[in-house]
A = this chain, B = another copy of it.
Amino acid sequence: MGFFEAHRARLEQAVNACRTRAYWSAFPEIASGKIYGETAKADGESAFKAMLGKPFDLGQAGAKQVGREISPYGMALGITYPAADPDTLVEASLKAGDGWARASIEDRVGVCLEIVERLNKQSFLIANAAMHTTGQAFMMAFQAAGPHAQDRALEAIAYAYDEMTRVPRAVNWTKPQGKGDPIVLDKVFRIIPRGVSLVIGCATFPTWNGYPAIFASLATGNSVIVKPHPGAILPLAITVKIGRDVLTQAGFDPNVLMLAPDEAEAPITKELAEHPGVAIVDFTGSPAFGQWVRENAATDLVFTEEAGINSIVIDSTDDFRGMCGNIAFSLSLYSGQMCTAPQNIFVPAGGVETNDGHKSYDEVAAGIAAAIDKLLGDPDRAANILGALQNEATAQRIDAARKLGRIVRDSASMPVAGFDHARTASPLLLAVDAKDDRAWGEERFGPIAFVIRTGSTEESIALAAQSARRKGAITSSLYAMSDGVVEEAADAFARAGVALSVNLTGGIYVNQSAAFSDYHVSGANPAGNACLTDSAFVANRFRVAPMRRQKAA
């Protein structure tokens, strides 16, 4: 049985899930030995440790070895990867793309599904790789870089498959001619890819953010060059290696999927993006570089997730404690290093109504601060939630931010058992006025949040929506008991192109975006020019070449 048939049922479920957007997941997020095998955890850790301090066996040619990854938990990985220059990479990708383009939809999609299946089996290895590059705590690294990212890959494959199969393969076109013989044409429609697809990865979610583009492009017949962030190469190197193994087994040139590693001191991203052989660019990263890519890439077909400033508007709540706890978790998770993490919390100067009575602005701020303290009170739990800071610049940013407002809760580094040199920081919470938009109006990536004193909920909504339109935003969150306020916020945030979560007090957080259900990034504000989970993300990655033939008389 071929790969396609082997995974067909899962594919069909995924296509259906994308349509209904009800809860569905293909890959278990629980890192349990019962699911992944009793030795899976230990095996993954061993495999990771065996990779340290050595050249990575990618099976890809390279004129030199690069790689200087350092774990946010302290140690240098010492892994090097074979590197080639952009011309060589693009040439090899173009050459490999030829056979891939000719493959049937089923053959290509089957290969993609098999890659994802094998990635799933390596979830513990990938978790270790993600932990020691992104700084995510182990359990988050397992979920986000493992099964959640695999779900995202499957989602992209499902969208691509659905989109390609909407094009009929052939049709008999018979046009009546009154009493005369009809005109008859046999038409055949062939899916043709764009060419070489360049996927530029980020340092915080290399697989979760990279897989949608990688698999959308692969499934639609493009060859893919994965350019990892120099600080987070390993998770994508493992991914590419697994992909190349499956491609080889299926009889394709493994260069259909290539890695383009570099080092921060000698970056090759611009040269790759400007290469005339590149037909698609996907980018996750900073707005500054995102703008450069949009303006300078050799192709107009550029999909970006850049960054934004996410807001919470507090109007009222019937669960003050639940609200504070929920916000505390959202601010703390992975030390605020998520594109979906909130930064700005808008609270009216006159305070808010809650189930615990009226709470002043200061009481709301203090309530959130206390909830953070409580959440992070246990060092083990704190480490599991916060993880580590991916980049030293974030630590410096926290230091610089302290003077931007009144400190409600200070940031502190937190111990991580077993990693004495981990770079960590708990959330910094600052109180500012609405007029202090030089403080809250810029993105402050990391565990930095502002409680912003506004004149009213109406002003809170207006400021948050305006900020989203100007600077971008991926998520927004509202606490309000009145349907009128919810409607007002829903309107304002929809117009600003931001996903809105309302009254989250339980086990779901505004940072979380579920595959097959949530639309991640709207493409409708500066946080990104594309949604990563819709038809538009895949429909333009291939084109249709029709042939019509006059039916012999």
Question: Chain A: residues with CB nearer than 8 A to chain B?
Answer: 19-23, 101, 163, 166-168, 171-177, 183, 185, 187-190, 192, 194, 294, 300, 302, 486, 490, 493-495, 497-508, 514, 517-519, 522-524, 529, 531, 534-536, 539-540, 543-550, 553
* 15 contacts across the A-B interface (CB closer than 8 A): A183-B506, A183-B507, A187-B518, A192-B495, A192-B522, A300-B302, A300-B529, A490-B547, A495-B545, A499-B546, A501-B550, A502-B548, A506-B553, A519-B546, A539-B539
Complex contact A518–B539 (CB within 8 A): no
Is there contact, CB below 8 Å, between B506 and A171? no
A148, B490: Cα distance in complex, Å = 41
Chain B residues whose CB sits within 8 angstroms of the CB of A545 once the complex forms:
493-495, 497-500, 522, 524
- CB pair B21 A166 closer than 8 Å: no
Nearest to A530 among chain B residues (CB) is B540
B534 pairs with A539, CB closer than 8 A: yes
On chain B, the residues within 8 Å of A486 by CB distance are 549
Bound complex: CA A167 to CA B495 (Å): 17
Cβ contact within 8 Å between A506 and B550: yes
Contact A540 B546 (CB under 8 A): no
Contact between A168 and B550, CB atoms less than 8 A apart? no
Task: Find out whether the CB atom of A519 lies under 8 angstroms from the CB atom of B535.
Answer: no
A168 touches B535 (CB 8 A): no
Min CB gap A279→B, angstroms: 9
Smallest CB separation, A306 vs chain B (Å): 13
- Measured in the bound complex, the distance between the Cα atoms of B122 and A489 in whole Å is 44
Contact of A300 among B294, B501, B540 (CB under 8 A): B294
A172 with B505: CB separation less than 8 A:
no
B550 touches A499 (CB 8 A): no
Contact A183 B519 (CB under 8 A): no
Which chain B residues lie closer than 8 Å to A190 at the CB level? 490, 494
Rounded to whole angstroms, the CA-CA distance of A294 and B523 in the bound complex is 19
Minimum Cβ distance to chain B for residue A85 (Å): 25
Contact A514 B21 (CB under 8 A): no
Find chain B residues with CB under 8 A from A534 CB: 167, 539, 544
A258 to chain B, nearest CB (A): 21
| B524 in contact with A192 (CB, 8 Å) | yes
- Cα distance A486–B173 when bound, in Å? 19
Find chain B residues with CB under 8 A from A176 CB. Answer: 23
Closest to A499 in B: B546
Contacts of A546 in B (CB 8 A): 499-500, 518-519
How distant is the Cα of A534 from the Cα of B542 in the complex, in angstroms? 11
What is the bound-complex CA distance between A104 and B248, given in angstroms? 50
Q: How far is the CA of A315 from the CA of B453 in the complex (A)?
A: 78
Assembled-state Cα–Cα distance A502/B187 (Å): 10
Q: Which of B166, B493, B524 contacts A19 (CB 8 A)?
A: B166
Known contacts: A495-B192, A531-B543, A543-B531. The answer to whether A23 contacts B548 by CB under 8 A is: no
Closest B residue by C-beta to A162: B166
